[in-house]
């Protein structure tokens, strides 16, 4: 994928996962617990106003990744994209817990050279230098596609590194934990209570990590599906402790959307001045 296209796609996906925006990105599995050795899970993927009701735009399937229970790379099948949602299948042909989702990263921002503003990533607008239309607007910002194009004499550098994960889990037979091993890069979730063992009324625990270390005081938003049939969205928040653990008591059975985000000044990308991270998961909670 071209660098600039990757930056745009990453920014869009991360924005759609943010809890403050109307359109939330989500993955919805047909089920999360299977007893057979060759079952299939079907997944819907979209961004919408109401969780799990596609009404806005489909999520691209090109960036979907699959991790098998032994840590090997799996694949999706039967992918299709419609006007408001995408769908795909994954065959659970190995016993244990699978992880399915997206991992996106990119950088974007602005800087100046001799008082002229430049932007990293994004689209060239009409009338802007390098964009369609004439004459070009001399006051419009210029664009570069890579941090390598930022010159040594650049000033007012505001480059943000962004990353986001959006995950679901499916277990065939006995639950396993290999797919939960952290990469120690960015914001990750390491469940203490296995996703296949979430039950209404039984407190669950999830550890959140930043670069492999516990993330304290992190606000985690949890929203049940089915808002179409309620007056409110039913959202509630929990906060991680010093150990990075969020303790969640799910009030009902069903599918839940979990999301958290964090910004700091510890980017790994060259010339970046800060970073923004997000994590999203869809979890199925069973009735007792």
Q: Is residue 124 part of a domain?
A: no
At 63, which CATH number? 2.60.40.1930
Task: Give 176-219 pLDDT, tens digit per residue.
Answer: 999 999 999 999 999 999 999 999 999 999 999 999 999 999 99
pTM attached to this predicted model: 0.85
Confidence of residue 128 (pLDDT cuts 50, 70, 90): very low
User: Number of structural domains, the chain?
Assistant: 1
By CB atoms closer than 10 A (0-12, 13-18, 19+), residue 130 is exposed
Question: How many other CB atoms are there within 10 angstroms of residue 56's CB atom?
Answer: 18
Task: Give 135-152 pLDDT, tens digit per residue.
Answer: 456 667 788 888 888 899
Q: How far apart are CA 250 and CA 264, in angstroms?
A: 30
For 62, 177, 179, 211, 254, the CA distances from 71, given in Å and listed in that order, are: 20, 10, 6, 20, 28
Q: Is residue 119 part of a domain?
A: no
Task: Give 45-102 pLDDT, tens digit per residue.
Answer: 999 988 999 999 999 999 999 999 999 999 999 999 999 999 999 999 999 999 999 9
Domain that holds residue 71: 3-105+161-188+263-285
């Amino acid at each position: 994928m071209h660098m600039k296209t990757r930056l745009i796609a990453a920014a869009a996906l991360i924005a759609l996962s943010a809890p403050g925006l109307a359109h939330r990105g989500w993955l919805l599995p047909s089920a999360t617990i299977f007893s057979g050795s060759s079952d299939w899970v079907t997944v819907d993927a979209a961004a919408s106003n109401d969780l799990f009701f596609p009404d806005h735009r489909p999520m691209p399937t090109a960036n979907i990744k699959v991790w098998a229970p032994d840590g090997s790379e799996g694949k999706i099948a039967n992918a299709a994209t419609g006007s408001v949602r995408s769908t795909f299948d994954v065959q659970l042909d190995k016993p244990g817990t699978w992880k399915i989702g997206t991992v996106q990263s990119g950088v974007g921002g602005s800087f100046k050279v001799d008082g002229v503003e430049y932007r990293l990533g994004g689209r060239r607008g009409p009338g802007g230098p390098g964009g369609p239309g004439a004459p070009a607007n001399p006051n419009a910002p210029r664009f570069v596609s890579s941090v390598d194009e930022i010159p040594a004499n650049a000033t007012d550098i505001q480059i943000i590194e962004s990353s986001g994960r959006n995950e679901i889990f499916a277990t065939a037979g006995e639950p396993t934990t290999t797919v939960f091993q952290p990469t120690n890069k960015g914001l990750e979730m390491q469940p203490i209570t296995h996703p296949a063992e979430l039950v209404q009324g039984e407190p669950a625990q999830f550890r959140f990590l930043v670069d492999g270390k516990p993330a304290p005081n992190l606000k985690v938003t949890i929203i049940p599906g089915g808002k179409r049939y309620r007056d409110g969205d039913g959202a509630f928040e929990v906060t991680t402790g010093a150990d990075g653990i969020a303790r969640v008591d799910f009030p009902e059975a069903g599918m839940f959307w979990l999301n958290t985000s964090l910004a700091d000044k510890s980017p790994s990308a060259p010339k970046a001045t800060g970073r923004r991270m997000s994590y999203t998961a869809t979890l199925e909670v069973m009735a007792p």
